[in-house]
Structure 1
C-alpha cells in the first residue's frame, strides 16, 4: 500500500527546531519521505512548508519564493548571533533615538540592498556551516549578497530604560536574513540592535492563516500536490492517453501558452507532473508517481 503524499502548511511553535518538526511528521504519518522548503530558527515561529511522499518533488519550486515576517527588533544591544539566543556583546543607550531617525534608516534598508548574512547562519564556508565555524571560535567573514526588501514597516515601538523595541513587518526575497536587518538597523543608528522575536506569516502565496497545528491531524491537513502546483503555475488538463505519455517522459503537443513551468493535471484531477511548454510541445521537468494518493 502506498504511503501518503501532499504538502503540509504548518505553524511552527517556538522551541522545536525545523528538523524536530520534520521528525515528528515522519512519525505521525509513518513515512520517511518528508522534506521542507526552508527552515526556521528554534526561537522563530510561523509558517513552514513540508512535502510528504512524492510531493517532496515540489519543494524545489517552493524554496525560492518571497517571504513575509513580523518581528521585534531591540535597539541598544548587539549579540553574538544577532538574535536573542546569543550573548550580549555591546550595549548602548537607545532612549534618544527618534522616530524620524528610525524611518530614515529603515528607508535605506528597503529595496534592493547588499546584505552580509549573520555569522551564525547555515551558509557553507569551505564545506562547513558558518554557525559551526563560529561556535568553534573561528572568525567567519561572509560576503555580501544582493537581496530585496520589498516592505519594511515599523508597526509599534516600546521603550524600557535604555532599550527600544520595534515591532516590524518585513517582506523580503528568499535568502534575506531578518536578523541581519536588525543588526544593520542598530548599527546605522549607532546604538546596535538584534532580533528578539520572529514569526513567518507568508511564503509566496501561502499564508499562516491556512497553516495547521503540528500536533494536530496531519493526514487530513495534507494538501494535494495538484492544488499547490495549480496555485503556482498555469495548468494543462490531460486526457488519459496524454497523461500516460507524459508519465513515460514523452513529448506531446499541449494547447497552452508557452511557459517555463506548467502543471499537468490528469483526468482524475491528480498532478501528473510539471512540464515546460515551448512552441506548443511539452518537455517533462518532474513526474509524480500515480500510485500515491493524498491520505
Structure 2
C-alpha cells in the first residue's frame, strides 16, 4: 500500500492525532510509514496531505516546500490571546472607539505590503532545538525571529459587530511559512483592538483543494486516483495502455494528453484496485519514457460510468 492522499482534518484533533486514526486503515505491515505535510493545530480544520509508504512520505517535503496555501479565517477584534488563537488565555481590550469597516480594510491592505512576519511563540518553530510552544508552556523567555513571508491575496467576506468588538471573516492566499495567527495579532495591534483567530479552515495547498479531500470513512467507498506523467509519453500508446488496464480492473474514468508533453489519467474505484492501477501506471508501457510523475488519491467530483480515451 502506498500513495498520497488528500484528507479533511476535523476540529479538536492534532495533525498527528488524526494520522494515528488513519494508521489502522493504512498500515498493513511494519514497513509501511505514514506521514503528513503542513501541520494543522487542533483548533483548525481542513486540507491535510498524507503520505503512505516511504516513497510518498519522502515526497511530502518536496511537494509542500515553498507551496502557497489558502485559508478561510474568522478573526476576533476586541481581545487578544496568549496563543493568538481561541485556545489561549483571552484578554479583552478596552476600546473607546472601535474602528470602522473602512479602517479595518485599510489596515489589512497595509499589512499585506509587509514582507516579514514574527511567528507566534506557541508554534513548532525550533529554538535551540526545542519547539517554541514547549518553551512557552514552561514560561521561559525567548524571542522569535522575523520570517520572510507574504499575504499574496485576500478577500474580506464580512465584518460584523459582536458583543466584544467585531468578527472579521476573510479568505487568504499566503506563502509557505505564513501564520494566520500572527496576521490576526498584528492586525489587532495596528488597530489597537487586539486580535486572535477564532476559526481557521485550510482550503487549499498548491494545486490541492479541500473540496476534493477525503474523510476517513471514504476509504471503504469508491474514490479517485489522479495520475500525471511527463516525458516521452505521447504518441507511444500510453493512453491506450492505461485504458486497457482500467478495463481489466473495472476502473472508470478517462485519460488524455496534456500540452506540451504529459498524459493525465483519472480513475475511480475501490482503494485496493486503484493501488494496483497506480503500480502499473508508474511502470508505463515499454514504448514510453517517463521523466516525472505525480499521483494522489482524492474524493470524486463527478462519477464516471466508463473509461474513455480523449485527445
Q: Provide the TM-score with structure 2 as the length reference.
A: 0.72
- The count of residues paired between Structure 1 and Structure 2 equals 253
Aligned runs of 1:37-76 on 2, under 5 Å?
Answer: 37-53=37-53, 54-64=55-65, 65-76=67-78
1:113 pairs, out of 106, 112, 115, with: 115
The unaligned stretches of length 5 or more in structure 1 are 240-256, 273-281, 289-295
Determine helix, strand or coil for the equivalent of 1:109. Answer: helix
Between the aligned partners of 1:162 and 1:190, the Cα distance in structure 2 is 14
Q: Does 1:271 align with 2:272?
A: no
Q: Following the alignment from structure 2 to structure 1, what is the Cα–Cα distance between the partners of residues 165 and 114? A: 29
Say whether 1:208 aligns with 2:247. no
Instruction: Judge conservation of contact 1:95–1:161 (CA < 8 Å) in 2.
Output: no
Counterparts of 1:121 and 1:268, CA distance in 2: 38
SS at match of 1:62: helix
Q: In the aligned structure 2, how far is the partner of 1:119 from the partner of 1:41? A: 14
User: Deviations 1:184-220 (Å, cap 9, x if unpaired)?
Assistant: 0000101110000000000001101100112332685
8 A contact 1:29–1:219 mirrored in 2: no
SS of 1:271's partner is helix
Aligned to 1:149: 151
Quote the RMSD (CA, aligned, Å): 3.3
- Cα distance, 1:25 vs. partner? 1.5
Task: Check conservation: 1:67, 1:173, Cα contact below 8 A.
Answer: yes
Q: Please give the secondary structure, in 1, of the residue aligned with 2:216.
A: coil
Q: What secondary structure sits across from 2:169 in the alignment?
A: strand
Alpha carbons of 1:268 and 1:167: their partners in 2 closer, same or farther (altered >3 Å)? closer
The secondary structure found in structure 2 opposite 1:180 is: helix
Shift of 1:268: 7.7
CA distance in 2, matches of 1:237, 1:179: 45
SS of 2:57 mapped into structure 1: helix
The answer to whether the 8 A contact 2:98-2:165 is kept is no
Which aligned runs of 4 or more in structure 1 are off by greater than 4 angstroms?
Answer: 218-222
Instruction: Give the superposition deviation at 1:108.
Output: 1.5
Alignment map for 1:120-159 (pairs within 5 Å): 120-159=122-161
- The structure-2 alpha-carbon separation of the partners of 1:95 and 1:203, relative to structure 1 and needing over 3 Å to count, comes to farther
Query: In structure 2, which of residues 179, 190, 193 is the aligned counterpart of residue 191 of structure 1?
Result: 193
TM-aligned CA deviation for residue 22 of structure 1: 1.2
Pairwise CA distance, 1:159: 1.1
Query: Is contact 2:27–2:33 with CA below 8 Å preserved after alignment?
Result: no
Q: Which of 143, 168, 175 is the matching residue for 1:166?
A: 168
Residues 119/8 of structure 1: CA separation in 2 closer, same or farther (3 Å cut): same
